[in-house]
Structure 1
Amino acid sequence: MFRCIVLIPSYNSGALLRRTVVGVLAVCPDVVVVTDGSTDGSDQTLDDLRPMHPGLKVLHLAHNGGKGRAVLHGAQWAIQAGYTHVLTMDADGQHPAQSVLDFIYAAQCAPGAVVLGVPVFGPEAPALRVWGRKLSNFLIGMETRGAVEDCLFGFRVYPARAMVAALQASHFMRGFDFDPEVAVRMVWQGMPVLNKPAAVQYFNAEQGGISHFHYVRDNARLAFMHVRLLFTWVWRACCGKPLRSF
């Protein structure tokens, strides 16, 4: 039986975490928040919501280990709780709560597929972010033969067991490299993909916007990821071996 839960990894998300969770609960009763070593007390802003929303679960990781690690932890909990799918979205309010049910319905109609959000940017989106992702999308497009239209947008629905298996098969994908690499790995494993547009909103500092993306460290991580994936793609193609076996 198809069961989907919204999975929100969070690290020091401030007031935006509560705003995001409240927005999701308005349309979907099943939400699991994974606080990834947060030290700002943002998880405590959810305490008064839990008695009114029995489908809201808050998991705590003692140390910050990265987005991929938090998603893995939440997905493993979701599987044990009987959920078949997880819809991942960021805690910073950028992803559209109003599209949650639409994405869940798409996954329910194609339960064996990965439903990937394709961001529709507003005028407030930083130009550096918009243009920077074009290179990543070009490279991922090569590695997946165009199956993945946007590799960095974290608003997605995954078949939970397949996503956990992809993560457990690698020592990577624990930080900001999670979103692009897990999509590639799942395509290589033969998973069908549905690409769906979704609005994205960026908040500036005055609006409480928070970003933990470190341009040097995390761009280096992403560059290393692309080198690994391109090498694997070329090597397997030259050897005539199916990528799903890697």
Structure 2
Amino acid sequence: MLHAPESVAASFRPCALIPIYNHKDTITETVHGLRAHGLPVVIVDDGSNDATRAVLRALASKEDAVKLIRLPRNGGKGRALTAGLIAARDAGYTHALQIDADGQHNVGDVPRFLAEGQNDPHALICGHPLYDESVPRARLYGRYVTHVCVWLETLSFTLRDSMCGYRLYPLDATCAEIDRAPLPARMDFDTEVAVRLIWRGVPVRNLPTRVIYPENGLSHFRMLHDNLRISAMHTRLLLGMLPRAPMLLWRKRRRAAWVA
């Protein structure tokens, strides 16, 4: 059983959440970077190999603030995140900072994510990637297709990037959405959960953050299968938007009226 630390303010009790599958060479540095900012860490091992499991056991044995959840077999990033989000909520945390295990994300931005979340605890704080030259061009250009789809699915430009796996979730709303209907098991998780939270009325804040693609980094993105899953997801979400369109447009007009 996980337990939220009593030292954190009662209204804002965040943890970090890391899904991992065979990233044994980068996970230790990522965890140490998060702990340097005082965050308790929940790691969800999505059926990793023996070498990665040994590294994870060592990390969890050294600190009570590092908790390890093991899934019996590899089920996909989305399944691991779902398990971690529910476990974090049940432990009494109010927010979970999702971050990748492969070293792509800048742990130096953790205080900025937490400050945004504390300022607006009901919001989804989404990383808006700032890439350097290490980003594969095909992946970069492919993201714009998803951006356009998401703008149509939400009838807004609120979400700058729905595919970035560096974000702070408000756990009550996120787990309520998980309880309402299961979320995708694999790489389509990040986009679908963001769209469905927007449909739910959760506000979004976009936080620019540096994202790199480490040399010889291990990616589990399967070009054919994951792109097919993402295409099917966008079809499903576009169809789901249609009955919600009047509500989404009404919210948009109301926000415009407030600004005016």
Whether 1:148 and 2:159 are equivalent positions in the alignment is yes
The yes-or-no answer on 1:199 pairing with 2:210 is yes
Using the size of structure 2 for normalisation, the TM-score is: 0.87
- Is 1:232 paired with 2:237? no
Task: Report the AA paired with residue 24 of structure 2.
Answer: G
Task: State the distance in 2 between where 1:242 and 1:201 align.
Answer: 34
| 1:36–1:51 CA distance, 2 compared to 1 (3 A) | closer
Equivalent residue number for residue 66 of structure 1: 76
2:123 matched to 1:113? Answer: yes
- Equivalent position to 1:222, from 230, 246, 249: 230
> Residues of 2 paired with 1:21 and 1:217: CA distance?
30
Q: How does 1:57-136 map to 2 (within 5 A)?
A: 57-136=67-146
Gaps of 5+ in 2: 1-10, 250-260
Q: Is the 8 A contact 2:159 2:204 kept in 1?
A: yes
* Pair 1:30-2:30 in alignment: no
Distance 2:152 2:79 in 1: 26
Partner of 1:55: 65
1:152-186 per-residue CA deviation (whole Å, 9 max, x = no partner) reads 00100011121122223224422111100100000
How far, CA to CA, are the matches of 1:106 and 1:241 in structure 2? 27
Of residues 19, 28, 31, the one that matches 2:29 is 19
1:92-143 CA-to-partner distances (Å, cap 9, x unmatched) read 1101111112101110110011101000001111111111101101110222
TM-score (norm 1): 0.91
The alpha-carbon deviation at position 242 of structure 1 amounts to 6.2
Q: What is the RMSD computed on CA atoms of the aligned residues?
A: 1.6
What letter is aligned with 1:138?
Answer: V
* Count of aligned residue pairs for this structure pair: 238
SS, match of residue 82 in structure 2:
helix
SS of 1:41's equivalent in the other structure is: helix
Q: What percent of counterpart residues are identical?
A: 39
1:84 offset after TM fit, Å?
0.5
Q: Distance in 1 between matches of 2:63 and 2:109?
A: 20
CA distance in 1, matches of 2:74, 2:161: 26
**Divergent runs of 4+, >4 A:** 240-243
Gaps of 5+ in 1: none
2:228 aligned counterpart, secondary structure? helix
For 1:50 and 1:69, the matched residues in 2 are separated by: 21
The 5 Å alignment of 1:159-174 reads 159-174=170-185
Work out whether residues 14 and 40 of structure 1, in 8 Å CA contact, stay in contact via their aligned partners in 2.
no
Per the TM alignment, residue 150 of structure 1 is displaced from its structure 2 partner at its CA by: 0.1
1:138 aligned to 148, 155, 159, which one? Answer: 148
Would the alpha carbon gap of residues 172 and 53 (structure 1) be closer, same or farther in structure 2, given more than 3 Å must change? closer
- State the AA in 2 paired with 1:54: D
